[in-house]
Structure 1
Amino acid sequence: MKTRTITAIAMMIAIIIILGFIPPIPLGILPVPLVFQNLGIMLAGILLGARKGTLTILLFLVLVALGFPILSGGSGGVAVFAGVTVGYLVSWVFSATLIGLNQKAFLATTHFFKQFLIIWLPGVLFVDIMGSIGLSLMTGMPLLQALLSNLVFIPGDTIKAFVVVIIARRLLSLSFFKQL
């Protein structure tokens, strides 16, 4: 692996960790808070591509499993993979992969809405559906109720996807990311 690639992966993991320092926002109606780390997951996929973005998220989740308190709110350890957020955490890997697989399509268009959909569908819709499934399985909540309650995340996650498109448009034009 090139030094540039290792550096990019390490920087992206650091960004995801830093986003975890932003305190989670409890919603009251769900045992799952609003977090900002999923913005970093979307960025990893679009900036690093499918293979490197997926590796980034896998390494991040390994650090979580090893007990590093790097999830929002300072949680970490294997227990989080048996909790109500398991669906979201597992979906992050696939979200980064799906976004990364569409990196070329993102770069091939200048149409903002198309770029937004490339980020939003796997980065928001897929993650919230998978999170709902995990929430339903871990709490016994009916799946439809879990899906409907997850609608509360859509506005904030949509704004995060919008921000990711703006950042990605800028950064993907830099030689650093073109050479990855």
Structure 2
Amino acid sequence: MERNLTLIALFAALIAALGLIPAFTLAFGVPITAQSLGVMLCGTILGAKRGALAVLLFVLLVAMGLPLLAGGRGGLGVFASPTVGFLIGFPIGAFVTGLMVEKLRIGSLGVTSALAAAVGGILVVYAFGVVGMAVALDKTIPEATLLIVSFIPGDLIKAILAGVVTAALYKARPNSVLSRA
């Protein structure tokens, strides 16, 4: 139990630390950050439940006002911004990513993790992100979808990186990858 709590807190801190990497904010108010890589790693390494709890802890800390999002943003105001859907989708994306890594045994762990990160960390998170952007920016779903197309190449690179990191960690310390425990 204590180990689980420590890992959940550690991975929430990892997501916050990845927000320190300078963000590039697009014209419609959504920044390109490394924090989605942290969400993917929560699922691939911690598994579904622990990964979702780590991301949920991060989102709750942001809601409490801690400036943990890229650019030092935090507080309830971010839940009225174009990024609201992404924030809501983060814990669900981590859960789906972790569940896929836990259940799928196709190919190597790196390939499985990259695939799971692409599905959970991109498709699931984007589904929420598009809806949130459409509502916040008063756009249609197709218009909001076109706004996020520029994120896809970077997020695919993050998904591959999540697969590489997870496989390397598993090779070095197999018991550290709880999604495969």
TM-score normalised to the size of structure 2?
A: 0.90
Gaps of 5+ in 2: none
| Separation in 2, partners of 1:165, 1:41 | 13
Aligned to 2:48: 50
Can you list the C-alpha shifts for 1:53-72, whole angstroms capped at 9, x where unaligned? 11111111111111000011
Change (3 A) 1:166 1:67: same
Distance 2:135 2:164 in 1: 35
Runs of at least 4 residues of structure 1 off by over 6 A?
A: none
Q: 1:68 aligns with which of 54, 66, 74?
A: 66
Residue 138 of structure 1: aligned partner: 136
Counterpart CA distance in 2 for 1:95 and 1:111 is 18
| Structure 1: distance between partners of 2:140 and 2:80 | 18
Give the whole-Å Cα distance in 2 for the aligned partners of 1:31 and 1:76.
Answer: 14
Q: Which moved more, 1:108-117 or 1:92-101?
A: 108-117
Which residue identity is paired with 1:41? V
Q: Return closer, same or farther for 1:156/1:145 CA change in 2, 3 Å cut-off.
A: same
Bigger mean CA deviation after superposition, 84-93 or 128-137: 128-137
| RMSD of Structure 2 on Structure 1 (CA) | 1.9
Tell me which residue corresponds to 2:11. Answer: 12
Q: How does 1:44-123 map to 2 (within 5 A)?
A: 44-106=42-104, 109-110=107-108, 113-123=111-121
**CA 1:11–1:153 in structure 2 vs 1: closer, same or farther (change >3 Å)?**
same
Gaps of 5+ in 1: none
Whether the 8 Å CA contact 2:110–2:167 is kept in 1: the answer is no
Identity %: 37
| Cα distance per residue 1:24-73 (max 9 Å; x no partner) | 10223x22111110100010011111111111111111111110000110
In structure 1, give the amino acid aligned to 2:163.
Answer: V
Partner of 1:168: 166
Number of residue pairs the alignment of both structures matches = 178
Conservation of the 8 A alpha-carbon contact between 1:50 and 1:98: yes
Cα displacement (A) at 1:107: 5.4
| Contact persistence 1:95–1:127 (CA under 8 A) | yes
Letter of the structure 2 residue corresponding to residue 168 of structure 1: T
